[in-house]
């Protein structure tokens, strides 16, 4: 049996407390009045807006000769109106920032939990012989599925009721009201799908399905420990197969709902798989990291180099799979350059160049070069380094999916973002390691246990 | 002409062969060669063969393919004739790079795969019309053959091999400078 060390428990609680304080600070700090935003913008304008004003002045001089005084006044009034609009826009983006930061971090840790649950289901459905000694680690991590998904859906819904639509603009009732200035025909056309009640129901369906599978697979796995026959094993095989079918549908819908609908004007077909690949690779990475941690504490005697080797092969292969989907999505849109699609990448390329390109280095180039060597795949500290880099990369991946739609060019990785990560990291560690203490770390009486213990690559 | 003698010990089971190899290694006998009809897992480790470096060559060949494709497309599409084809930006390599990635990928794989296979053929001396070096045709079907050089210790060796379960032991005179 694993005992949750006091040190780790204190550490996770400290993360939660620091995270909560930082998130609260983020919410207070983002609550700016229109006047504050205007002064901020003029201060910014004096530094980097100079070139722009010069350029407009040159243009104005050309027009000046033809322009009557009357027209110039009009122009000034128009400009003032434009400034007002711009300030409002920026104010809104600033108000979105703590929400988006919280959402990105919540989604990222949810991805890990769900990714591990799917990996676990695949191992069971494929009757993999090598991974049985890691099942309890996977079960422990997937204990985060239920709280994680509920938190994500909760933040999404709260952003409407508490935050006045800080995340999903389609949740605003004005957007589908033809009388309103804010009316958006494109979003209105999608309103039979994108409406709040249906969004919540869909979310609850995914969460119920995933949560139920998590609950029953864990229950069957523990029941198998003391069983007389293999009926639990057979049942868990059927459950896993059924769950995988359910999952691949709901995951796709989840990615449209929880991520893609942040940009309700944009759509992409392979988005669901892209989000899935990100989930899967982060899940595999966390399995590797927690396995290495538990093994270093002497809890996983049955795990050997070959198990680590296999899990790093998954990490390596799915990093490449993620890159393949990332590039396929990017290249198809870049190549055809259809305006209604390309705005998605244009905004990311203009305002998010470093994270957008940087995450390809972190998620592909780095793990590719680190883990291509067969011997390196079994060196724990190399796996830990690559794993941490990959996790940072996939955090950035979610960041680049969510932020441009919510905060636009006002993004920064500062206190709200970092403390949101700390908050959910603490929660994640607490939930996962508490779940790990609930059952022995090695399954008993599993038909493939012996094979897994003697696994050698 | 000087001759050297070798012993051909024939086994019919790969497990017996494996334990025989371990026994011979433990008694510090040199094993010249083993002929098997299929790969026997762990045989190379038991014989103490050095691990292959084929994967390393493959990685290097892949790097060559990467460089070839980048240089080729940079020259053709950007430097030599930077034409406007459907509005694609051919001002610099980076600007148009997404369009080049599929070719870069394919050529990297192409070089890595083909050059590695050719390296394998060269290193293991395989080519069409090559004279087969098989000492006994049964080793391609269901027999395993171990070849051990003899240095005046044939009787001792013979006893040892019988002990390890060899079903047949032949002493062969081999011409040292025989053409391969």
pLDDT of residue B2: 52
Single pTM value for the model: 0.90
* Integer angstrom CA distances of residue A203 from A84, A199, A254, A424, B83: 37, 6, 7, 20, 50
* CA within 13 Å, CB half, A114: 31
Strands lying side by side in the sheet with B168-175: B33-35, B144-149, B3-11, B168-175
Find the DSSP H helices in chain B. 14-26, 43-47, 54-73, 97-123, 154-163
Using a CB-CB cut-off of 8 Å, the residues of chain A touching B99 are 331, 335
Answer whether B105 touches A (CB < 8 Å): no
pLDDT of residue B113: 97
Interval B118-155: pLDDT, tens: 999 999 999 999 998 888 899 999 999 999 988 877 88
pLDDT of residue A57: 47
Cross-chain Cβ contact B101/A331 below 8 Å: yes
Write out the DSSP string of A409-433.
Answer: GG---SHHHHHHHHHHHHHHHHHHH
Decide if pLDDT at A49 tops 80: no
Share of chain A above pLDDT 70, in %: 93
For the residues A299-304, what does the mean pLDDT come to?
A: 91
Cross-chain Cβ contact A337/B87 below 8 Å: yes
* CA within 13 Å, CB half, A112: 32
Between B146 and B2, where is the model more confident? Answer: B146
d(CA A104, CA A209): 23
Taking all residues of chain A, what is their mean pLDDT, rounded to a whole number? 90
Cross-chain Cβ contact A327/B87 below 8 Å: no
pLDDT of residue A52: 46
Asked if A126 and A415 count as a contact pair (C-beta separation under 8 A), the reply is: no
Answer whether A457 touches B (CB < 8 Å): no
Cross-chain Cβ contact A331/B87 below 8 Å: no
pLDDT of residue A44: 74
pLDDT of residue A70: 54
For the residues B104-109, what does the mean pLDDT come to?
A: 97
Using a CB-CB cut-off of 8 Å, the residues of chain B touching A327 are 98, 101
pLDDT of residue A163: 78
ipTM given for this complex: 0.88
Share of chain B above pLDDT 90, in %: 69
Tokens of A337: 């350059």
**Among candidates A334, A372, A374 on the partner chain, residue whose Cβ is nearest the Cβ of B98:** A334
Asked if A288 and A308 count as a contact pair (C-beta separation under 8 A), the reply is: yes
d(CA A133, CA A94): 47
Between A456 and A70, where is the model more confident? Answer: A456
Residue B74 C-alpha, separation from nearest chain A C-alpha, in angstroms: 18
pLDDT of residue A47: 54
Taking all residues of chain B, what is their mean pLDDT, rounded to a whole number? 90
Asked if A366 and A386 count as a contact pair (C-beta separation under 8 A), the reply is: yes
Tell me the angle at which helices A305-336 and B97-123 cross, rounded to the nearest 10 degrees. 140
pLDDT of residue A31: 78
Interval A173-221: pLDDT, tens: 888 889 988 899 999 999 999 999 999 999 999 999 999 999 999 999 9
Asked if A102 and A23 count as a contact pair (C-beta separation under 8 A), the reply is: yes
pLDDT band at residue A71 under the 50/70/90 scheme: low
Which of A373, A377, A285 is closest to A322 using CA atoms?
A285
């Amino acid at each position: 049996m694993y005992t949750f060390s006091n040190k780790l428990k204190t550490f996770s609680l400290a993360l939660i407390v620091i995270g909560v304080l930082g998130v609260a600070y983020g919410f207070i700090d983002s609550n700016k009045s229109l006047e504050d935003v205007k002064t901020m913008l003029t201060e910014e304008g004096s530094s980097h807006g100079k070139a722009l004003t010069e350029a407009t002045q040159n243009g104005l001089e050309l027009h000046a000769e033809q322009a009557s005084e009357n027209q110039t006044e009009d122009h000034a009034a128009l400009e003032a109106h434009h400034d007002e609009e711009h300030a409002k826009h920026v104010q809104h983006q600033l108000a979105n920032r703590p929400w988006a930061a919280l959402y990105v971090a919540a989604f990222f840790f949810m991805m890990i939990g769900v990714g591990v649950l799917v990996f676990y289901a695949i191992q069971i459905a494929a009757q993999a012989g090598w991974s049985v000694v890691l099942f309890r680690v996977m079960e422990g991590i997937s204990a985060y599925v239920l709280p994680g998904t509920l938190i994500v859906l909760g933040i999404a819904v709260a952003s409407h009721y508490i935050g006045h639509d800080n995340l999903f603009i389609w949740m605003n009732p004005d957007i589908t009201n033809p009388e309103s200035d804010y009316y958006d025909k494109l979003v209105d056309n999608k309103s039979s799908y994108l409406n709040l009640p249906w969004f919540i129901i869909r979310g609850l369906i995914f969460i119920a399905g995933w949560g139920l599978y998590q609950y029953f697979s864990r229950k069957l796995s523990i029941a198998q420990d003391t069983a007389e026959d293999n009926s639990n094993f057979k049942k868990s095989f059927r459950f896993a197969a059924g769950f995988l079918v359910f999952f691949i549908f709901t995951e796709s819908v989840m990615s449209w709902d929880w991520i893609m609908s942040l940009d309700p004007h944009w759509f992409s077909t392979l988005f669901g798989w892209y989000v899935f690949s990100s989930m899967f690779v982060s899940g595999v990475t966390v399995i590797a990291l927690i396995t290495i941690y538990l093994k270093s504490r002497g809890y996983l005697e049955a795990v050997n180099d070959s198990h680590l080797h296999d899990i790093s092969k998954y990490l390596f292969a799915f990093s490449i799979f993620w890159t393949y989907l990332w590039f396929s999505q990017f290249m198809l849109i870049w190549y055809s350059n259809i305006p209604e699609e390309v705005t998605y990448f244009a905004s990311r390329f203009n305002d998010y160049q470093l994270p957008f390109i940087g995450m390809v280095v972190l998620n592909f180039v780095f793990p590719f070069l680190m883990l291509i060597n067969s011997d390196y795949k079994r060196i724990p500290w190399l796996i830990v380094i690559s794993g941490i880099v990959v996790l940072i990369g996939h955090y950035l991946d979610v960041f680049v999916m969510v932020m441009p739609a919510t905060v636009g060019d006002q993004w920064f990785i500062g206190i709200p973002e970092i403390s949101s990560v700390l908050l959910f990291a603490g929660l994640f560690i607490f939930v996962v390691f508490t779940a790990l203490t609930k059952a022995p770390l090695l399954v008993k009486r599993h038909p493939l246990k012996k094979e897994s213990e003697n696994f050698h690559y | 002409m000087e001759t050297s003698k070798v012993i051909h010990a024939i086994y019919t089971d790969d497990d017996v062969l494996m334990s025989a190899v371990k026994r011979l290694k433990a008694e510090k006998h040199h094993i010249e060669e083993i002929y098997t009809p299929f790969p026997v897992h762990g045989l190379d480790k038991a014989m103490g063969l050095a691990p292959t470096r084929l994967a390393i060559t493959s990685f290097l060949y892949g790097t060559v393919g990467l460089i070839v494709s980048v240089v080729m497309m940079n020259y053709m599409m950007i430097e030599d004739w930077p034409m406007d084809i459907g509005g694609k930006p051919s001002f610099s390599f980076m600007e148009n790079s997404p369009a080049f990635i599929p070719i870069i990928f394919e050529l990297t794989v192409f070089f890595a795969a083909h050059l590695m296979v050719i390296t394998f053929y060269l290193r293991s001396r395989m080519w069409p019309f090559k004279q087969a070096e098989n000492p006994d045709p049964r080793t391609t079907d269901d027999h395993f053959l171990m070849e051990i050089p003899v240095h005046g210790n044939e009787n001792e060796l013979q006893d040892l091999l019988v002990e390890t379960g060899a079903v047949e032991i032949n002493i062969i005179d081999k011409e040292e400078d025989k053409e391969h």
